[in-house]
């Protein structure tokens, strides 16, 4: 089989998926249609519709774009079937019903931003960093009935430096994911669709990667300094870890939210109550059960992200406050 003979429908939404689509299109592969999320209303009154990054790229290349509200909609299924795809490629998209993923003769594979079976779920990059992993990666696998449980085709590892945040890992996995996507499509072509694959190993302790909500992002200062450090970088720059600034001796009065984007570990032991603040020479430290943790980049309510030195210039008597989980 040659690449012009393999009819591909690509499914994806965010920027993370664009790299994979771009490599396929610019590599001369036969992408016959693209499926993405409906345009999202944005602006104060939701009066402006914003197209997904995948849609914008697809339209720039003249590709047909399908935007179903419901994946089981008969009109969508009829249109999807009309493209007579041999293979569907999914990168950062929603759950698919069997009637969709079973449609092509060679099946549907997904590019997942983790080394499966670890970090199944919606936020694998965040949770890998939050958990202090030193290695993560990408996996291609065939879709089946359960989420992220299908047979593995390929895996590639990606080292995570101790200072890396989610943005760094996201960018790295986006590029690595695009390459493994291309390599997997080439494997489909080289094997005439008879792709070797392996079942996932269920006999290991598994870490999950559930969707992240605002309450997920609240910092618990009773964790060790290393755990808080990893937690912050695992949510930076988006959606951002946060805590509550409260005057000493009060519970909620005059409380305000402080986002924390970057911290630095110290080797200085702390005997203070976790959440105690200490300022010194333009630096700000928070007590944890083992060591002081230095805050580097923060964002106060109603303000922009800034270096701690600038934050302290506008926030007097910071040591009369504590940070806590309410």
Q: Which domains does the chain have, with CATH numbers?
A: 3-190 (3.40.50.170), 214-324 (3.10.25.10)
* Predicted pLDDT of residue 42: 84
C-alpha radius of gyration, the chain, whole number: 23
Task: Tell me which residue of 288, 298, 281 sits closest to 267, measured CA to CA.
Answer: 288
* Predicted pLDDT of residue 311: 96
174, HSE (Cβ side, Cα atoms, 13 Å): 16
* Predicted pLDDT of residue 34: 98
Supply φ then ψ for residue 7, to 5 degrees.
-85, 120
* Predicted pLDDT of residue 234: 98
Q: Is the Cα torsion angle 25, 29, 32, 37 positive or negative in sign?
A: negative
**pTM, entire model:** 0.94
Which parts of the chain are beta strand (E)?
8-12, 31-35, 40-42, 48-50, 65-66, 87-91, 108-112, 135-142, 152-159, 241-247, 256-269, 277-280, 283-287, 291-300, 306-307, 321-324
Task: Tell me which residue of 214, 239, 231, 306 sits closest to 265, measured CA to CA.
Answer: 231
Q: How many CB atoms lie within 10 A of CB 66?
A: 17
* Predicted pLDDT of residue 291: 98
* Predicted pLDDT of residue 46: 75
Q: Which regions in the chain score pLDDT beneath 70?
A: 252
């Amino acid at each position: 089989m040659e690449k012009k003979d393999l009819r591909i429908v690509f499914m994806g939404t965010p920027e993370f998926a664009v790299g994979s689509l771009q490599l396929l299109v610019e590599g001369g592969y036969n992408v016959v249609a693209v499926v993405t999320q409906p345009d999202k209303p944005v602006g104060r009154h939701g009066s402006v519709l914003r197209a997904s990054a995948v849609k914008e790229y697809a339209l720039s290349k003249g590709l047909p774009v399908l935007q179903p509200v419901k994946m089981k909609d008969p009109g969508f299924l009829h249109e999807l079937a009309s493209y007579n795809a041999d293979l569907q490629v999914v990168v950062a998209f929603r759950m698919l019903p069997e009637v969709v993923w079973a449609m092509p003769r060679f099946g549907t594979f997904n590019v997942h931003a983790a080394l499966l079976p670890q970090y199944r779920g919606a936020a694998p990059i965040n949770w890998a960093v939050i958990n202090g992993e030193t290695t993560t990666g990408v996996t291609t696998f065939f879709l089946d009935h359960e989420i992220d449980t299908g047979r593995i085709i390929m895996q590639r590892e990606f080292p995570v430096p101790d200072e890396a945040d989610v943005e760094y890992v996201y960018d790295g996995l986006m590029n690595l994911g695009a390459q493994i996507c291309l390599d997997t499509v080439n494997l489909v072509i080289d094997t005439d669709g008879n792709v070797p694959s392996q079942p996932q190993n269920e006999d290991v302790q598994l870490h999950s990667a559930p969707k992240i909500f605002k309450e997920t992002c609240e910092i618990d200062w009773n964790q060790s300094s290393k755990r808080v450090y990893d937690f912050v970088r695992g949510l930076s720059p988006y959606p951002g870890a946060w805590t509550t600034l409260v005057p000493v001796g009060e519970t909620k009065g005059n409380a305000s939210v402080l986002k924390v984007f970057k911290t630095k570990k110290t080797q200085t032991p702390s005997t203070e109550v976790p959440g105690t603040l200490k300022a010194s020479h333009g630096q700000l430290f928070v007590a944890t059960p083992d060591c002081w943790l230095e805050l580097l980049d923060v964002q106060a309510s109603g303000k922009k992200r800034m270096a701690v030195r600038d934050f302290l210039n506008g926030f007097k008597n910071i040591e009369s406050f504590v940070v806590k989980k309410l």
